[in-house]
């Protein structure tokens, strides 16, 4: 397929750019400076991705509906945390910050989510859900939107608009503080080591600055800024968990200061149960169908989720016929993707169309033996015709990119949509920084005022 996929909107493209190609480069680099954001050196986009308003809204409404089903799937798996962990084939060891209050854990489990979506032949397909406080996207959406709005003449002239992630997350935290009887204050707990190439904490401080302007006391804290013991008091009871435990362990960052803060009464947010929703087995559960799912639930999943199943030796239905799953995996390599149930940044993913027979066979054998993977139907991503410029010149070219779109939800409220793709136009695994994808934002064509989505 060449050109822009019809889902984005026929003929939708930004017009009236107020800056030259060279000025676009300078503006993007200025706004995104010292944040570790990837702007791929070979080519640079001269525009954001634009979708028709109805298509843009569809991403958030469908994400909201699917997230609700994932949350219910976890709740219905067992009446308590121990049972839910067992149903997912895991235990508490990877999740050292569970709190004893299970009502709190599940009340806010879905508070922050960012699915990854491709536009397939018949529209959006949700490949997975990132549910935590750690996922990338909010700062990038904020900065790219600010840059493109400036590049296209300012908020009154730009032919597009989008939801503001910092505003949506601030509203969530104001509500959480009120519900938990806490002062309106939250610290962002993270580490600059998580932002390769960044020399300051600007990536985090942008958000804490926004919070302070919108009714929340806030600052960015490194683990060394937490109380060291000896009677030192907590400055913040509520800590936004801007870190992944495995990442910090790999970087050699001790979790002990966090444990001490929690022992003193600090509340990490979002709670550990968010990771249960992010476990890809939950997506397989709703794809296969659950007894409690209504006809409308099943229609929603069929419309937006590719065929997804747990991997173990058994029979499965595939395109209207019953198959032995082990045989299906081998015979239909080019139609399938294998994913570990627990993973992030595109790691632990094997694309059948891109793998050799030997690579695929080894991955299938491991998945069947270990019982910790899902298989998903491969979705060929639709293209978007992107105007780009070379690093060393001012002339532009058009490349049909294959974007992964990542709409963000905070307490159900739309919070903007991150986009990532390869500047070459190729498709493939997009996630970990080592894959070399570049970043951008998806915005809505301005044809009527953009309304905030419901937070119910």
- The 10s digit of each residue's pLDDT in 265-274 is 999 999 999 9
pLDDT bracket for residue 39 (50, 70, 90): confident
Mapping DSSP to helix (H, G, I), strand (E, B) and coil, where does residue 252 land?
coil
Q: What is the pLDDT of residues 47-69, one digit of tens each?
A: 999 999 999 999 999 999 999 99
Residue 435, pLDDT above cutoff 60: no
DSSP per position, 262-275: HHTT-EEES-TTHH
All domains in the chain, ordered by first residue: 6-277+381-445 (no CATH), 307-377 (3.30.1490.20)
Sheet with 43-45: strands ordered across = 43-45, 384-390, 396-401
Q: What is the pLDDT of residues 362-420, one digit of tens each?
A: 999 999 999 999 999 999 999 999 998 876 556 788 999 999 999 999 999 999 999 99
Q: What is the pLDDT of residues 76-110, one digit of tens each?
A: 999 999 999 999 999 898 899 999 999 999 999 99
Q: What is the pLDDT of residues 105-139, one digit of tens each?
A: 999 999 999 999 999 999 999 999 999 999 999 99
pLDDT bracket for residue 432 (50, 70, 90): very low
Residue 452, pLDDT above cutoff 90: no
- Is residue 325 within 8 A of residue 316, CB to CB? The reply is yes
Residue 10, pLDDT above cutoff 80: no
Nearest to 45 by CA among 443, 428, 416, 441: 441
Q: What is the pLDDT of residues 439-451, one digit of tens each?
A: 999 999 997 666 6
Instruction: Write 400-404 long-range contacts (CB < 8 A, 24+).
Output: 400/1, 400/2, 400/3, 400/4, 400/425, 401/425, 402/118, 402/426, 402/427, 403/49, 403/118, 403/119, 403/440, 403/442, 404/116, 404/117, 404/118, 404/127, 404/430
Q: Is 391 left (phi over 0), alpha (psi -120 to 50) or beta?
A: alpha
Is the whole model's pTM more than 0.85, yes or no? yes
**Residues forming a β-bridge with 239:** 187, 268
pLDDT, residue 389, reads 86
DSSP per position, 164-194: -HHHHHHHHHHHHHHHTT--SEEEEE--GGG
Distance of CA 195 to the CA centre of its chain: 17
Token duo for residue 395: 């002339």
């Amino acid at each position: 397929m060449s050109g822009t996929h019809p889902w984005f909107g026929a003929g939708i493209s930004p017009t009236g750019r107020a800056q030259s190609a060279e000025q676009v480069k300078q503006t993007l680099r200025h706004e995104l400076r010292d944040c570790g954001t990837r702007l791929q050196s070979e080519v640079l986009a001269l525009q954001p991705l634009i979708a028709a308003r109805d298509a843009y809204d569809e991403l958030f409404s469908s994400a909201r509906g699917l997230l609700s089903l994932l949350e219910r799937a976890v709740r219905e798996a067992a009446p308590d945390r121990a049972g839910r962990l067992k149903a997912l084939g895991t235990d508490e060891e990877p999740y050292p910050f569970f709190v004893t209050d299970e009502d709190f854990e599940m009340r806010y489990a879905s508070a922050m989510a960012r699915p990854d979506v491709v536009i397939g032949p018949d529209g959006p397909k949700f490949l997975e859900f990132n549910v935590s406080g750690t996922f990338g996207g909010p700062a990038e959406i904020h900065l790219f939107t600010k840059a493109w709005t400036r590049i296209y003449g300012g908020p009154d002239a730009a032919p597009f608009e989008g939801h503001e992630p910092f505003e949506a997350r601030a509203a969530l935290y104001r509500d959480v503080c009120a519900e938990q009887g806490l002062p309106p204050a939250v610290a962002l707990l993270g580490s600059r080591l998580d932002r390769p190439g960044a020399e300051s904490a600007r990536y985090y401080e942008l958000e804490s600055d926004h919070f302070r302007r919108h009714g929340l006391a806030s600052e960015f804290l490194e683990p060394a800024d937490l109380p060291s013991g000896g009677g030192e008091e907590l400055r913040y009871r509520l800590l936004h968990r801007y870190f992944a435990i495995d990442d910090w362990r790999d970087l050699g960052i001790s979790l002990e200061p966090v444990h001490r803060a929690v022992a003193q009464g600090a509340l990490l947010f979002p709670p550990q149960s968010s990771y249960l929703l992010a476990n890809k087995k939950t997506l397989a559960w709703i794809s296969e169908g659950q007894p409690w799912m209504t006809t409308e639930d099943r229609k929603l999943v069929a419309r937006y989720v590719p065929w997804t199943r747990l991997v173990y030796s058994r029979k499965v239905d595939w395109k209207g016929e019953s198959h032995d799953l082990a045989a299906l995996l081998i015979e239909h390599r080019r139609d399938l993707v294998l994913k570990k149930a627990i993973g992030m940044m595109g790691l632990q993913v094997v694309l059948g169309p891109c793998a050799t027979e030997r690579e695929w066979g080894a991955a299938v054998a491991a998945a069947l033996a270990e019982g910790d993977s899902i298989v998903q139907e491969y979705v060929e991503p639709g293209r978007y015709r992107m105007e780009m410029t070379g690093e060393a010149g001012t002339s532009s070219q058009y490349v049909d990119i294959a974007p992964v779109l990542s709409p963000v939800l905070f307490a159900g409220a739309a919070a903007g949509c991150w986009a990532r793709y390869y500047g070459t136009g190729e498709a493939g695994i997009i996630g970990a920084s080592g894959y070399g994808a570049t970043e951008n934002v998806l915005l809505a064509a301005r044809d009527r005022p953009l309304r905030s989505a419901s937070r119910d």
